[in-house]
């Protein structure tokens, strides 16, 4: 590792944390000032114990001085620090670690900090120590046991050996063995070295000492031998003899070879990782790993790396094999059906093929192996730090190669290193992309900020468009930017703003049709989609005439973003170039954002202009209106008053502003007035109050004061705006009217009370006279007339009292949830004698669902009875009266319509006034009934109206009552919700009175009821009403009960309905006949209440 600039922090930190047990950082002077969780976890030192130079205490005492000396030297020399020493371990004892540290430099090449790591090598170090100790013991043992001893007499050239020597060299015991024979057994590569050292010993230059390989004579096994010897010389300095020893060091040399290989591997790893940290190309760093494999496994081996494409479906060659091989395997599939690298990447497991020529999976690819001369192929998956498999390491062997642990371990080390390098590369690329995106984003944000600043203070639409075009052209560096607005059919645009490079013709003010240029994209623009063309001259989607049209305007490429508002294509912002240009995503984003911001600024300018005009209109209107108009702030303080306010009160603006307006209030009510207004301010709600305000002449005059909160678009509260209108004359008039009305009510109440006193004895006397037998029929007739007229007077007095009680608020309603239809039927029943006497035809139309209202049942019946009596009174004999009840949204609507005398246009507006007369024929009564109806309806929260086309055209009265939504069904489900009482019953009987009375009785039992007065109409109602039960009279004229039953049974809606025969015949043969005709039950007239109740409970009465 070398010193690194600060921008490499993240990459190096990641690699060190991935590769080492401890990662740490210090200040530039080597002092520890921050925590290192990995140091604390490994050594057990606390943060406080480690700070400063405290970390040295974690080093083994015998190693501490040298470690500190080397550390200080590295700091002083600003160079890399490498050391090996024992470090305290949290589990107890001391462990050997390799230490590496590098300085980080700032832009001035000064040390900013040091970063370092500790790699636990305790197992390796202890193995080396053990090996050396073992070798020492071995040498000692050989010195006393398995040591070959030899003696060479130079004077006679005779050699002597001990038995161990012969065993060591694989020679027969006591076999002739001269120096030349010895040299023949030495490995050819070591022979010259051994001979040279022997000659040096004979020359007296040095003792004989050599390590060399031999091939044993008997089994040709290769051994490593260490030999030592010493020559003796005569007085003349001539060698007399040489003696020495030889012993087997093969095991030691094997271990040392492995250690050297591991050290070389670590060096190569460090070099590859350092290359990755220096952001070398991926093929360079992985190429270093590929060469590591070849050095470790031999020249008959090749290694290559493959990475998955972005789609994770195929592999691409990175480094290791020739270009021709890379082309041959381009797009190699990843998946379960693949082989070698494709299968390893998919499964995440190694795929080891010892011999591709015998593996059937390789049949389609065997030609490739033959062409590039390999037999064995091992594939190892590579995964990133995130655990995602991204490629493989492939090792190719020229000869078949069986699996062995040493080679597999090597491959795993290489793939682990490759994983770190690839992860770092991917992170570096991701960081580069993010930085590029950030720079682009910063540039974009800077432009948008400039754009916002450039548009914010402009108040006219033309200036906004022109400034936006200028700023965008400067940002994009294009030749022209135009803002166009659509006209007419959205196929023609008008250029309303432009910024153009010098030398180009201007388009401002021109009209252009899309059909002349690029109508194919018009639908895209209408849909809000941005369109772009890189080169209009070569664009195949354009016709020659269109290309010529663009060329005439010096346009070769363009990008257009539309503005679609309310489903209308209203405008567009277009960037254009006179040369070809490929529009980037960021450029199109800038175009879109500028278009939207320009539109928003134009709309803001238009709104501000409209607001200024509106404010001017308001000021003119406010100052000419004959009312006090004011605006109070968020705390109730006045901030605006109109001119009329000043003129009316005679005060100046300064006297009224703030809280000065309070001095104009009636002193007796000022405190309550202010408290009431401030409560509305606090609650941000509307306010209304009637009170007196002091006029300029000092008089207190009545005013009606209204105010509403002024809220912004986002709900901000800007105070209350109000108007105060003088109503003093109105208040005086209302007071006078109220006094007159009170006196009228008091008179009516007194009159009714006084009339009751004489009526009581008159009524009693007439009752006595009526019970006395008289011979004179005229007297009896006269008494009857007097009784009826007395009853009429009593009813009039009762009505007068009702009106009086209502006017004085003395009437109390006993409200409950009731069905309007039931009340209407009770009114019809009460009015039936009048209808019968008057000879009118009365029809009732009921709704298909209950109309539930919250009302006083007796008063509701009284309302309907009064309207029915009124209709009977003014409808001639044989006339028609129609009662209709229906639902209209959340209201029950009841109409009483007749074809009688009608109401004149002049009388109609006053028809509900007290004492109003419908006509002047003398039979209209006192005019109390309709006034009573209106007041009772109003008490129920409803409304009543009357309409007529004039005299002789009949009249129609309509009552609307709010439905009780808490109980009223939302929609007609076809069946009521109640389990037992809510049966839907249809009564079919030609006797209207009998049918109507039976309906009333069934309603009293909780049923929903409809009536029909002939069989054909009844069958039709079945299809609409969907009844549960049909009560059917058998003896009807025309279509009788049996024929009607047959028709109903043949209807889809009538197949499951419960048919009940209603007849005066109760004999057994009659019951059998109805049963065979398809009836479910048979009830004899008159039906008992119990029989009807059983019917609604689905029990037959037969």
pLDDT at 885: 93
DSSP 8-state code for residue 473: H
Question: Residue 960: is its pLDDT beyond 90?
Answer: yes
Residue where the block lists tokens 């539309």: 562
Helix axes 282-297, 250-277, angle to 10 degrees: 170
When the pLDDT of each residue in the chain is averaged and rounded to a whole number, the result is 84
Instruction: Determine, yes or no, domain membership for 264.
Output: no
User: From the CB of residue 947, how many other CB atoms can be counted at a distance below 10 Å?
Assistant: 14
| Crossing angle (nearest 10°) for helices 820-838 and 992-1004 | 160
Tokens of 93: 């004892």
Residue 469 shares a structural domain with residue 586:
yes
Region 70-81 average pLDDT: 91
Q: Which of 7-21, 643-657, 730-744 is most confident?
A: 643-657
Residue 903 has pLDDT above 60, yes or no: yes
Highest mean pLDDT out of 362-371, 430-439, 778-787: 362-371
Lowest mean per-residue pLDDT among 49-58, 342-351, 810-819, 982-991? 810-819
Beta-ladder partners of 898: 881, 955
Question: With 90 as the cut, is the pLDDT of residue 944 above it?
Answer: yes
Question: How high is the pLDDT of residue 804?
Answer: 66
Whether 207 shows a pLDDT value over 50: the answer reads yes
The per-residue DSSP string of 733-762 comes to HHHHHHHHHHHHHHHHHHHHHHHHHHHHHH
**924, exposed or middle or buried, with CB in 10 Å at 0-12, 13-18, 19+?**
middle
In a domain, 142, yes or no: yes
pLDDT computed for residue 109 by the predictor: 82
3-state secondary structure of 530: coil
The yes-or-no verdict on residue 957 having pLDDT over 50 is yes
Same domain, 463 and 585: yes
Residue 231 is assigned to a structural domain of this protein: yes
From the list 1008, 1009, 1065, the residue with the least C-alpha distance to 1042 is: 1065
Q: Does the pLDDT at position 909 exceed 90?
A: no
For residue range 179-192, what is the model confidence (pLDDT) as tens digits? 888 899 999 999 99
Buried b (16+ CB within 10 A) or exposed e, 631-657: bbbeebebebbbebbbebbebeeeebe
Encode pLDDT of 396-412 as tens digits.
999 999 988 888 988 88
CA distance 970 to 961: 16
pLDDT at 943: 93
Q: What is the pLDDT of residue 772?
A: 67
Q: pLDDT at residue 417 above 90?
A: no
Q: Is residue 265 part of a domain?
A: no
Q: Do 112 and 17 share a structural domain?
A: yes
Residues 903/843, Cβ–Cβ less than 8 Å? no
Q: How many Å apart are CA 43 and CA 62, to the nearest integer?
A: 17
What residues have CB less than 8 Å from 167, skipping those under 6 apart? 148
Q: Distance between CA atoms of 1031 and 1014, rounded to whole angstroms? A: 12
- What integer pLDDT is reported at residue 498 of this predicted model? 92
Distance CA 119, CA 659 (A): 81
The answer, yes or no, to whether residue 1 has pLDDT greater than 50, is: no
In a domain? residue 598? yes
Write down the pTM of the prediction. Answer: 0.37
Q: Which band of pLDDT confidence, cut at 50, 70 and 90, is reported for residue 775? A: low
Last residue in a domain, options 63, 90, 120: 120
The pLDDT, as a whole number, for residue 765 is 62
Q: Note the pLDDT tens digit of each residue in 801-820.
A: 666 667 666 677 788 899 99
CA distance 862 to 869: 10
SS3 assignment, position 647: helix
Least confident of 325-334, 425-434, 638-647, 723-732: 425-434
On whether residue 475 sits in a domain, the answer given is yes
Reported as a pLDDT band with limits 50, 70 and 90, residue 752 is low
Contact 369, 357 (CB under 8 A): yes
Q: State whether 515 and 415 are in the same domain.
A: no
Encode pLDDT of 478-506 as tens digits: 999 999 998 867 788 899 899 999 988 88
Least confident of 386-390, 457-461, 958-962: 386-390
Whether the CB-CB separation of 20 and 118 falls below 8 Å is answered with yes
Q: Which domain holds residue 81?
A: 4-120
DSSP labels, 121-137: -HHHHHHHHHHHHHHHH
How many percent of the chain have pLDDT more than 90? 35
My answer on whether 712 and 833 are in the same domain is no
Residues in the chain: 1102
Shared-domain flag, residues 574 and 653:
no
Say if strands 717-726 and 511-513 run parallel, antiparallel, or are unpaired: unpaired
CA atoms within 13 A on the CB side of 701: 17
CATH code: domain of residue 49? 3.30.450.20
pLDDT at 277 over 90: no
Nearest to 641 by CA among 697, 727, 721: 721
Question: Does residue 718 carry a pLDDT above 60?
Answer: yes
Distance CA 387, CA 416 (A): 12
Q: How many CB atoms lie within 10 A of CB 857?
A: 16
1035 and 1073 together in one domain: yes
Task: For residues 210-218, give the mean pLDDT.
Answer: 91
Cβ count within 10 A of residue 588: 17
Q: How many angstroms separate the CA atoms of 670 and 691, rounded?
A: 9
Q: Please tell me whether residues 787 and 816 are part of one structural domain.
A: no
Are 666 and 691 in contact by the 8 Å Cβ rule? The answer is yes
In 3D, which of 244, 263, 60, 268 has the Cα closest to residue 161?
Answer: 244
- Boundary residue ending a domain (782, 803, 824): 803
Task: Tell whether 981 is covered by a domain.
Answer: no
In this prediction, residue 1100 has a pLDDT band, given cuts at 50, 70 and 90, of: very low
Same domain, 820 and 959: yes
Least confident of 23-27, 350-354, 833-837, 931-935: 833-837
In this predicted structure, the answer to whether residue 66 has a pLDDT above a threshold of 70 is yes
Within 10 angstroms of residue 627's Cβ, the number of other Cβ atoms is 18
Measure the CA angle with vertex 849, ends 843 and 854; round to 5°.
Answer: 95
CATH number for position 1053? 3.40.50.2300
| Domain C-terminal end among 581, 609, 637 | 609
CATH number of the domain where residue 797 is located: 1.10.287
Separation between Cα atoms, residue 508 and residue 326, nearest integer Å = 58
Stretch 789-794: mean pLDDT: 67
* Residue 369 belongs to domain with CATH number: 3.30.450.40
Q: Are residues 144 and 162 in the same domain?
A: yes
Into how many domains does the chain fold?
A: 8
Tokens read off for 131 = 């090996």
The answer to whether position 92 is within a domain reads yes
Cis omega (within 30 of 0) for bond into 1086? yes
pLDDT score recorded for residue 1101: 39
What pLDDT sits at residue 583?
A: 92
Q: Which residues pair with residue 113 across a beta bridge?
A: 104
The pLDDT value recorded for residue 975 is 36
Mean pLDDT, residues 420-437 taken together = 82
Q: Which token pair is 724?
A: 């105060």
Q: For the segment 457-480, what is each residue's pLDDT rounded down to a tens digit?
A: 888 888 999 999 999 999 999 999
Same domain, 705 and 667: yes
Same domain, 589 and 485: yes
Q: What is the average pLDDT across 1053-1069?
A: 77
> Which CATH number do you get for residue 849?
3.30.565.10
């Amino acid at each position: 590792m070398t010193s690194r600039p600060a921008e490499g922090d993240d990459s190096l930190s990641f690699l060190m944390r991935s590769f080492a047990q401890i990662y740490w950082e210090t200040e530039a002077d080597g002092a520890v000032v921050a925590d290192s969780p990995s140091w604390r976890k490994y050594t057990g030192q606390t943060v406080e114990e480690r700070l400063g130079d405290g970390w040295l205490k974690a080093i083994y005492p015998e190693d501490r001085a040298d470690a500190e000396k080397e550390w200080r030297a590295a700091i002083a020399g600003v160079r890399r620090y490498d050391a090996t020493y024992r470090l305290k371990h949290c589990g107890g004892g001391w462990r050997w670690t390799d230490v590496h540290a590098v300085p980080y430099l700032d832009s001035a090449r000064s040390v900013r900090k040091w970063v370092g790591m500790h790699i636990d090598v305790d197992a390796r170090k202890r193995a080396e120590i053990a090996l050396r100790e073992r070798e020492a013991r071995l040498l000692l043992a050989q010195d006393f046991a398995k040591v070959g001893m030899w003696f060479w007499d130079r004077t006679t050239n005779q050699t002597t050996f001990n038995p161990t020597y012969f065993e060591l060299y694989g020679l027969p015991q006591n076999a002739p063995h001269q120096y030349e024979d010895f040299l023949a057994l030495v490995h050819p590569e070591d022979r010259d070295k051994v001979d040279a050292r022997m000659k040096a010993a004979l020359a007296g230059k040095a003792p004989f000492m050599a390590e060399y390989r031999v091939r044993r004579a008997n089994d040709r096994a290769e051994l490593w031998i260490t030999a030592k010897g010493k020559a003796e010389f005569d007085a003349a300095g001539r060698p007399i003899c040489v003696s020495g020893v030889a012993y087997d060091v093969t095991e030691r040399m094997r271990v040392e070879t492995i250690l050297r290989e591991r050290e070389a591997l670590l060096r190569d790893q460090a070099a590859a990782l350092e290359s990755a940290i220096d952001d070398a190309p991926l093929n360079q760093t992985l190429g270093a790993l590929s060469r590591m494999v070849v050095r470790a496994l031999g020249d008959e081996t090749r290694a290559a790396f493959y990475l998955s494409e972005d789609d994770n479906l195929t592999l691409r060659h990175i480094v290791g094999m020739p270009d021709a091989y890379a082309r041959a395997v381009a797009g190699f599939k990843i998946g379960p059906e693949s082989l070698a690298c494709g299968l390893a990447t998919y499964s995440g497991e190694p795929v080891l093929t010892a011999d591709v020529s015998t593996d059937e999976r390789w049949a389609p690819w065997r030609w490739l192996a033959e062409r590039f001369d390999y037999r064995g192929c091992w594939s190892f998956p590579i995964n990133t730090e995130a655990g995602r498999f991204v490629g493989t390491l492939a090792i190719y062997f020229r000869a078949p190669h069986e699996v062995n642990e040493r080679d597999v371990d090597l491959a795993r080390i290489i793939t682990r290193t490759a994983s770190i390098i690839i992860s770092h590369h991917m992170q570096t690329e991701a960081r580069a992309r993010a930085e590029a995106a950030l720079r682009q984003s910063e540039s974009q944000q800077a432009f948008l900020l400039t754009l916002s600043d450039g548009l914010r203070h402009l108040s006219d639409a033309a200036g906004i468009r022109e400034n936006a075009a200028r700023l965008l052209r400067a940002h994009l560096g294009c030749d022209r930017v135009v803002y166009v607005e659509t006209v007419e059919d959205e196929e023609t645009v008008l250029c309303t703003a432009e910024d153009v490079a010098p030398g180009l013709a201007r388009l401002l003010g021109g009209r252009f049709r899309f059909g002349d240029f690029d109508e194919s994209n018009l639908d895209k623009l209408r849909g809000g989609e941005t369109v772009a063309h890189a080169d209009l001259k070569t664009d195949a989607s354009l016709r020659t005439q269109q290309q010529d049209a663009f060329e005439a305007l010096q346009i070769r490429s363009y990008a257009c973003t539309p503005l679609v508002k309310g489903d209308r294509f209203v405008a567009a912002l277009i960037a254009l170039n006179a040369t070809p240009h490929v529009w980037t995503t960021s450029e199109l984003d800038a175009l879109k954002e500028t278009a939207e911001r320009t539109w928003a600024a134009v709309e803001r300018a238009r709104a501000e202009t409209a607001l200024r005009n509106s404010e001017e209109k308001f000021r003119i209107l406010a100052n000419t209106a004959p009312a006090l108009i004011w605006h109070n702030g968020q705390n109730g303080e006045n901030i605006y008053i109109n001119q009329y306010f000043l003129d009316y009160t005679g005060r100046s603006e300064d006297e009224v502003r703030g809280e000065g307006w309070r001095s104009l209030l009636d002193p007796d009510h000022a405190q309550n007035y202010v408290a009431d207004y401030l409560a509305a301010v606090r609650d941000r709600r509307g306010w209304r109050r009637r009170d007196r305000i002091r006029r300029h002449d000092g008089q207190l005059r009545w005013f009606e004061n209204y105010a509403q909160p002024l809220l912004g678009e986002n709900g901000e509260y800007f105070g209350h705006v109000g108007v105060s209108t003088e109503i003093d004359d109105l208040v005086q008039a209302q007071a006078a009217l109220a006094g007159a009305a009170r006196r009228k009510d008091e008179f009516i109440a007194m009159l009714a009370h006084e009339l009751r006193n004489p009526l009581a004895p008159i009524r009693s006397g007439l009752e006595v006279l009526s019970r006395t037998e008289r011979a004179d029929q005229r007297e009896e007739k006269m008494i009857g007339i007097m009784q009826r007229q007395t009853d009429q007077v009593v009813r009039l007095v009762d009505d007068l009292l009702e009106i009086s009680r209502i006017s004085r608020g003395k009437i109390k309603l006993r409200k409950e949830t009731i069905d309007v239809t039931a009340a209407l039927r009770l009114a019809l029943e009460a009015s039936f004698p009048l209808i019968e006497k008057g000879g009118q035809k009365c029809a009732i139309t009921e709704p298909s669902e209950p109309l539930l209202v919250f009302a006083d049942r007796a008063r509701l019946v009284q309302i309907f009875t009064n309207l029915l009596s009124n209709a009977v009174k003014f409808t001639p004999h044989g006339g028609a009266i129609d009662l209709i009840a229906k639902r209209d949204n959340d209201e029950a609507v009841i109409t009483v319509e007749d074809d009688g005398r009608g109401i004149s246009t002049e009388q109609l507006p006053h028809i509900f006034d007290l004492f109003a007369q419908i006509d002047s024929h003398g039979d209209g009564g006192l005019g109390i009934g309709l006034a009573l109806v209106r007041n009772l309806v109003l008490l129920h929260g409803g409304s009543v109206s009357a309409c007529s086309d004039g005299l002789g055209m009949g009249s129609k009265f309509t009552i609307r009552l709010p439905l009780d939504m808490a109980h009223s069904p939302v929609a007609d489900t076809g069946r009521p919700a109640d389990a037992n009482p809510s049966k839907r019953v249809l009564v079919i009987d030609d006797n209207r009175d009998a049918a109507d009375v039976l309906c009333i009785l069934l309603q009293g039992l909780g049923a929903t009821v409809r009536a029909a007065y002939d069989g054909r109409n009844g069958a039709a109602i079945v299809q609409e009403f969907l009844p549960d039960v049909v009560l059917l009279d058998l003896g009807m004229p025309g279509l009788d009960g049996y024929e009607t039953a047959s028709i109903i049974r043949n209807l889809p809606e009538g197949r499951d309905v419960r048919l009940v025969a209603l007849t005066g015949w109760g004999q057994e043969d009659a019951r059998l006949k109805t049963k065979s005709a398809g009836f479910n039950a048979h009830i004899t007239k008159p039906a008992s209440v119990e029989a009807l109740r059983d019917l609604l409970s689905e029990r037959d009465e037969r």
